[in-house]
Amino acid sequence: MTTTPDPTAALKGRPPVVDQATWQAAREELLVREKAHTREGDAIAAARRRLPMVEFDGTVEITGADGPVPFTDLFQGRDELLVYKHMWWDGSPHQGQCEGCTVAAWHTRDASYLNARGVSFAILTTGPWDEVAPFTEFMGYTQPWYSVRGLDEPVGGDMGYFACFLRDGDRVFLTYSTTGRGTEVASGSFALLDLTPYGRGEAWQDTPEGWPEGQHPCWYWRTDVDGNPTWGPTGRPAPQWTRPNATPEQTLGRSGDQH
């Protein structure tokens, strides 16, 4: 069934105005597609569970709050481990660190439900520990962080990924990894914004003609002290403004190479 809203009830840059019955019919029509999307997602997850895995040396040492520890310690006695690999800008202050990785790290501050299912969680980064430690303290992060500086895949290597690992006694395996928009699964704000009429407000979105023009991707990841989105000299990654003593900055503060 395809519903046709009354064009005389249209408001500029807004969804058309209809009666409750017409809205319900349109909602049920979309629900058919939403259910199909959910079922396809379930099928993809089933295929993901059937991927092969890669064994690697789980005794390789990484550095955390308690100094060097073997990678196997991240499992915390559990058999499954999920990690986020956080990009790092050497020598940069807090406001200069990766705003995209901040999105993922901020949304995964509590792993209670993962732990209840037997999955541990940690964040890995190539930053030197003497820089990482004060950053995590400033951000108020409670999840375990570790420096994997100088290490190869799958423990180190490229950042900006989620990766899953499985342990069988002393043996450790990489089972899955994803990057780009694949990391959105952990960031509930994206899915919630997609429920709203204007979505993420980004130019790539498919929106009706006459609606507010979208901005560049990720435009709201940095804001100024008043909450205005900006990637200018007074911007910080948005959640940093909730931290004590966060002040407007004169530069993004990035220096050195991205690792």
Decide if 3 is inside a domain: no
Q: The tokens of 64 are what?
A: 């955390």
In a domain, 145, yes or no: yes
Burial state string for 120-137 with b = 16 or more CB within 10 A and e = fewer than 16:
bbbbbbbbbbebbbebbe
Instruction: List the single range of 9-18, 86-95, 169-178 with lowest mean pLDDT.
Output: 9-18
Residue 235 pLDDT greater than 50, yes or no:
yes
For residue 142, the domain's CATH number is 3.40.30.10
Inform me whether the pLDDT recorded for 60 exceeds 50: yes
Asked, for residue 249, whether it belongs to a domain, the answer is: no
Q: pLDDT digit string (tens) for 140-171? A: 999 999 999 999 999 999 999 999 999 999 99
Tell whether 20 is covered by a domain.
no
Name the domain count of the chain.
1
Query: What percent of the chain shows pLDDT beyond 90?
Result: 84
Residue 201 lies inside a defined structural domain of this protein: no
Cα within 13 Å of Cα(59), Cβ side = 1
State residue 5's pLDDT score: 55
Evaluate whether residue 14 is within a structural domain.
no
SS3 219: coil
pLDDT over threshold 90, residue 8: no
> Alpha-carbon distance 136 to 246, whole Å?
14
DSSP codes of every residue in 27-44: HHHHHHHHHHHHHHHHHH
Residue 258's pLDDT band (cuts 50, 70, 90): very low
Residue 103 lies in a domain: yes
CA R_g for the chain: 22
- The closest alpha carbon to 101, from 83, 115, 119, belongs to 83
In a domain, 80, yes or no: yes
- Does residue 9 register a pLDDT over 70? no
pLDDT (average), residues 125-148: 97
Domain span at residue 97 reads 49-184
